[in-house]
């Protein structure tokens, strides 16, 4: 597994002419019959130029539904791969091929094969943050917005005692295990370097500075287990704690603008998420649990690179057909099982 501290964090962006580049991008998108899909962690100017901004599940669902010939995917590599698997006839572009994911790198094919050999007959559930090769060995994919629903679905289909291998994120795995109460579940010890870096001490400090604020926590965070313990011990009021995917956080923001204008909310996830939340709820104060939680991979996607990708129809992400056919099965199951909104 990769260390939480040896991987790149976001650097300072180059100055760019955002209005001119945005106009160029929109014009090229129209010429290429391209739809621009962007993840919630993308830089603001990329979110603003996109046709759709969302979480991993929403982006997969949107990729599967669009009619355009080209999908320009502003996110990380496994997300573009997922779009390519769902839409084999389309050209899927990613503005920077190096936009990877430390969580996807935390399990390899030989590691998963060895794990499965130790547990024959177990159902394998992998977070969507995995490579296509891992998905091809997987029974169900899930995202942070439907992981609990996926495990509950498997229990209904295969019985309460079904053995489940869940990976690669250990914090999401612990959260799912606790929420579903499923005992026969083994969790891989992988992590995302950005979310693992949001520690219980961050939560204690920010809680002390903003007593009474609500907490929104992405289930990949390194503080998840301790927050669940605070809630169980009665130290934190369960009412104000929400474990949410990035899409769930945005839904929360929209509701908070109507119900809690003037309130303060602590957000434990990658800091790019604050931009769409502040846009959706200008009268609510959103505070990052850890200001350094920035994903350098997500920030590799820039407007100039998006413009170049649309102009050159490159770099393209294309999954080999035999691999794609196998990986499609767990992805389609994931897309069919809807999000959870706590
Ligand atoms: P979401 O599915 O919540 O958007 O999370 C994706 C991701 O990569 C989190 O780091
Ligand atoms: Fe991967 Fe973490 Fe970046 Fe999300 S924030 S893309 S899980 S490295």
Distance separating alpha carbons of residues 40 and 278, to the nearest angstrom = 12
Beta bridge partners of 142: 127
- For ligand 2, mutation pick of 144, 191, 298 (most atoms within 8 Å of CB): 298
Distance CA 126, CA 103 (A): 11
Ligand 2 mutation pick, 76, 81, 99, 274, max ligand atoms within 8 A of CB: 76
pLDDT in tens, the chain (342 residues): 333 334 444 555 568 899 999 999 999 999 999 999 999 999 999 999 999 999 988 898 899 899 999 999 999 999 999 999 999 999 999 999 999 999 999 999 999 999 999 999 999 999 999 999 999 999 999 988 899 999 999 999 999 999 999 999 999 999 999 899 999 999 999 999 999 998 888 888 888 899 889 999 998 898 887 787 777 777 777 788 898 999 999 999 999 999 888 999 999 999 999 999 999 999 999 999 999 999 999 999 999 999 999 999 999 999 999 999 999 999 999 988 877 544
Closest CA to 103 of 136, 60, 134: 134
Which ligand is nearest the CA of 218, by number? 1
Angle between helical axes of 224-233 and 170-180 (0-180°, round to 10): 30
- The pLDDT assigned to 246 comes to 92
- Residue 32 CA to residue 126 CA, distance in Å, equals 34
Report which protein residue has its CA nearest ligand 1's atom 3.
245
- Ligand 1 atom closest to 245 (CA): 3
The predicted pLDDT at position 340 comes to 57
Question: 186 - beta bridge partners?
Answer: 165
Q: Work out whether the CA dihedral 198, 293, 175, 127 comes out positive or negative.
A: negative
Which ligand gives the minimal distance to the CA of 251?
A: 1
Find the 41 Cα to ligand 2 centroid distance in Å: 9
Nearest-5° angle of CA 216, CA 147, CA 128? 100
From the alpha carbon of 143, which atom of ligand 1 is closest?
A: 2
pLDDT of residue 202: 87
Give the list of residues 6+ apart from residue 34 with CB closer than 8 angstroms, or none.
Answer: 28, 68, 69, 70, 71, 72, 93, 310
Pocket of ligand 2 (CB under 6 A): 76, 101-103, 129, 192, 194-195, 270, 295, 297-298
Query: From the CB of residue 323, how many other CB atoms can be counted at a distance below 10 Å?
Result: 16
CA-based torsion, 20, 26, 27, 28: positive or negative: positive
For the chain, the straight-line distance linking the first and the last C-alpha, in angstroms and rounded, comes to: 31
Taking the C-alpha atoms of residue 219 and residue 201, their distance in angstroms, rounded to an integer, is 17
DSSP assignment of 121-160 equals: TPEEEEESSS-HHHHTT-SEEE-TTTHHHHHHHHHHHH-T
- pLDDT value, residue 59: 92
Expressed in angstroms and rounded, the spacing between residue 103 Cα and the centre of ligand 2 is 6
pLDDT of residue 291: 94
Confidence at residue 13, expressed as pLDDT on a 0 to 100 scale: 59
Give CA–CA dist 142/81, Å, rounded: 15
Nearest atom of ligand 1 to the alpha carbon of 244: 3
What angle do the packed helices 18-32 and 303-312 form, to 10 degrees?
Answer: 30
Whose Cα sits closest to atom 8 in ligand 2?
Answer: 101
Quick one: pLDDT at residue 328?
A: 96
| Cβ contact 79:71 at 8 Å | no
DSSP conformation letters of 245-299: -HHHHHHHHHHHHHH-TT-EEEEES-GGGHHHHHHH-TTSEEEES-TT---TTGG
d(CA 98, CA 320): 19
- The protein residue with its alpha carbon nearest to ligand 2, atom 2, reads 192
Q: Is 52 helix (H, G, I), strand (E, B) or coil?
A: strand
Exposed / middle / buried, residue 48 (Cβ in 10 Å: 0-12, 13-18, 19+): middle
Question: What is the predicted pLDDT for the residue at 16?
Answer: 86
Instruction: Spell out which residues line ligand 1, taking CB within 6 angstroms.
Output: 40, 55-56, 129, 143-145, 192, 220, 245-246, 270
**Alpha helices of the chain — where are they, by DSSP H?**
18-32, 44-49, 56-65, 77-86, 109-118, 132-135, 147-158, 170-180, 193-196, 200-209, 224-233, 246-259, 274-280, 303-312, 321-336
């Amino acid at each position: 597994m990769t260390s939480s501290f040896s991987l790149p964090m976001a650097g300072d962006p180059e100055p760019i002419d955002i209005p001119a580049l945005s106009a160029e991008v929109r014009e090229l998108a129209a010429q290429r019959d391209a739809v621009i899909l962007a993840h919630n962690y993308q830089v603001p100017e990329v979110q603003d130029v996109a046709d759709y901004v969302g979480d991993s599940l929403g982006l997969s669902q949107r990729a599967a539904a669009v009619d355009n010939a080209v999908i320009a995917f502003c996110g990380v590599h496994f997300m573009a791969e997922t779009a390519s698997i769902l839409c084999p006839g389309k050209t899927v572009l990613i503005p920077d091929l190096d936009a990877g994911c430390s969580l996807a790198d935390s399990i390899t094919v030989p590691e998963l094969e060895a794990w499965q050999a130790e547990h024959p007959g177990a159902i394998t559930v992998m977070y969507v943050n995995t490579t296509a090769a891992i998905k091809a060995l997987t029974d169900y994919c899930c995202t942070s917005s439907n992981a609990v629903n996926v495990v509950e679905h498997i229990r209904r289909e295969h019985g309460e005692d079904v053995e489940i291998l869940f990976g690669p994120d250990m914090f999401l795995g612990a959260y799912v295990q606790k929420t579903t109460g499923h005992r026969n579940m083994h969790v891989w010890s992988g992590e995302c370097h950005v979310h693992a870096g949001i520690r219980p001490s961050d939560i204690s400090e920010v809680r002390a500075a903003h007593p009474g604020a609500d907490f929104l926590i992405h289930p990949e965070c390194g503080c998840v287990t301790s927050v669940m313990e605070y809630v169980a011990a009665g130290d934190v009021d369960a009412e104000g704690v929400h474990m949410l995917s990035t899409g769930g956080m945005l839904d929360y923001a929209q509701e908070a603008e109507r119900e809690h204008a003037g309130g303060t909310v602590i957000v434990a996830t990658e800091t790019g998420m604050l931009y769409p939340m502040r846009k959706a709820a200008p009268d609510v104060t959103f505070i990052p649990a850890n200001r350094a939680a920035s994903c350098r991979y997500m920030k590799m996607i820039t407007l100039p690179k998006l413009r170049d990708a649309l102009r050159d129809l490159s770099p393209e992400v294309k999954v080999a057909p035999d691999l794609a056919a196998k990986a499609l099965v767990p992805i389609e199951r994931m897309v069919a099982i809807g999000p959870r909104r706590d």
